[in-house]
Amino acid sequence: MMRVSWSSILVLMLVSASPFSANALTWFKAAAADQSSQYVSHVESRDDKLGTLPTQEIETMIRQSEHLQAYSRKPDCFQRVAQTIRRPCGELEMNGDDRISRSDRFIQYNRYLYSNILTAAAAISMTLCELQTAMHPPPMECTLFASNADTTEMMFAADHKICVEALSRSAQYWSSYSGYLREVPQLCFAFRGMSDIDIAKDIYRNATVDKVELLRLLLDRERKTHDSQKHMLDVIQGMNMLLFNLGTASTVLESASEYAVERLQARSDAILQTLQADLLRFSEHERTRQSEEIHVMNVAIGNVVAGHATSLASLASNIEASVQAHVDVLFTESRQQLQNVLGVVVNQASEALRAHVVEQQYAAECAHRLSETLEEMTIKTKQEMDSINGTAAAMREGLLQKGSTGFFSLQELSKTGVLWLAEIVLRVDSSHFEYLLQMPVFRLCGAVASVLGLLIRVCFSTVMGVGVLLVSSRRWLDYNRSPSKAQDSRDALPSGSPSPPALTEQNLRFPVRPGPSFNRSLSRSRSTLRIF
């Protein structure tokens, strides 16, 4: 029993002397947390006292512990009374700080009365237990303080003064009551010590559990940190290998790009020279072909006009002789008939003459329009040839200049549009596109696109010129066929009608004499066609 008491006291001293044992990180239950938070302040306030306990107090604690062990060997009556006052003694100890901190005298007085009543009631109950052991009858006034009472509240409800007066009438009873009255505070002190030890064990257990959880958390965090560091080292090694591979690849790409640039430069020079020679040959061939076609067309038009004029002249003379003969023969025969139908014939003749005049006017307008068309065609053809020559010269100069930034205005315009689109819409720096446009590959693509545009323009201009010439020739041929229709209308006239004026070769060729502007435009167009 002595060893158990010493071990309990040593545990209490170790727990109270260690400030970390009372500072738990967390409590897992609300009830235990409230009780521990109330008691921690009390234990900490007693740290200094326990650290400097004198030997007498330690001996007192040992004696009270022995006294408490002795009560455990007594009969059940004493043990029941001791268990009855154990909880109130613990409550008085737990509320000790509140008793000191509060200044309300009424509350202090009530606690003082509660302590005195508890001590007196416990002493009376133990005295009655002793009387019961000795087979002495208890006083009638102390019946409610018997050990078989159900609760402590029933003991406190009785008036202990009456019971004390009854016990004082007997010296033996009073001696027992006085002795137990002195032992109850010591017993309560022992109960408080045991309660302190239990609470300290709970606090130590909670602190130990929290520390174990903290250590487990720290170990998990250390393990995760180690794993993350290992992962980072693996990632860094992979990145180093990737950087090494990228450096090797960049070196290989740089050498390959230099070789490709050299090859492209040589190839572009050869292509430019070939394109220049092809353009020269193409321009010469086009000039020769156009001049030959225009010459052939002029010869064909001249032959057609001459043959048509000859046929019209021979036909006009034959028609004139035949009409004269028929008119002479039929003049006498048809005079009477002519007088009858003179009005009708005059009307028909006037209508025919009016139609002939309209046709003549239309032919004159067509000839004038043809002259204007030929003049405009000549001017446009000359302008197109000048623009083609200028474009070929500019292209030749642009191809010969290797350091130039562009070839044609269309290329500059397209480049400006692309740069504007990249800066405004795509939000890309234009310096990157300038660097790309300076590369030989893009310059070569621009030159090829410009040459293709030039070829398309030349072909389109040639097709338009040939189309205009064909339309003009067709209109001229239609106009030359119109006098034959006039001759057919003259043959349809009845005998006796006045004959129209004779058709000469000059009137058949040009019913309306062309002006000097038409002659000048025709001569200018022929000279231009000969140049081509």
- Residue 115 domain-assigned (yes or no): no
Residue 189 to residues 40, 60, 61, 75, 333: CA-CA distances in angstroms? 19, 10, 8, 21, 181
What's the whole-number mean pLDDT along residues 411-424? 66
Is pLDDT of 332 > 50?
Answer: yes
Domain membership of residue 144 (yes or no) is: no
Instruction: Give the pLDDT of residue 225.
Output: 92
Q: How many CB atoms lie within 10 A of CB 459?
A: 11
Q: Are 180 and 122 in contact (CB under 8 A)?
A: yes
Supply the pTM of this predicted model: 0.29
Q: What is the pLDDT of residue 469?
A: 75
Question: For residue 26, which amino acid is it?
Answer: T
Over 254-299, what HEC string results?
HHHHHHHHHHHHHHHHHHHHHHHHHHHHHHHHHHHHHHHHHHHHHH
Ramachandran angles phi, psi of 406, nearest 5°: -155, 170
332 part of a folded domain: yes
Q: For the segment 135-190, what is each residue's pLDDT rounded down to a tens digit?
A: 777 777 777 776 454 444 445 545 677 888 888 888 888 888 888 888 777 777 77
Q: Could you write out the DSSP letters of every residue in 222-246?
A: HHHHHHHHHHHHHHHHHHHHHHHHH
List pLDDT tens digits, range 487-523: 454 454 444 444 444 434 444 344 444 455 445 554 5
∠ at Cα 45 (40, 47), nearest 5°?
95
Residues of the domain holding 329: 283-531
Number of domains in the chain: 1
Q: Whole-angstrom distance between the N-terminal and C-terminal Cα of the chain?
A: 140
User: Is 17 inside a domain boundary?
Assistant: no
Of the listed ranges 172-181, 261-270, 482-491, the one predicted with least confidence: 482-491
What does the pLDDT look like over 221-248, one tens digit per residue? Answer: 999 999 999 999 999 998 999 999 998 8
> How many whole angstroms separate alpha carbon 93 and alpha carbon 91?
5
Q: Which amino acid is at 459?
A: C
- Tell me whether residue 489 is in a domain: yes
Tokens 């002519």, located at residue: 338
Are 4 and 197 in contact by the 8 Å Cβ rule? The answer is no
pLDDT at 510: 40
Give Cα separations from 349 to 342, 343, 353, 495 (angstroms): 10, 10, 6, 12
Choice among 52-66, 188-202, 222-236 with the minimum mean pLDDT: 52-66
- The pLDDT value recorded for residue 233 is 92
Residue 35 lies in a domain: no
Report if residue 460 sits inside a domain.
yes
Neighbouring C-beta atoms of residue 183, cutoff 10 Å: 17
User: 143 lies in a domain?
Assistant: no
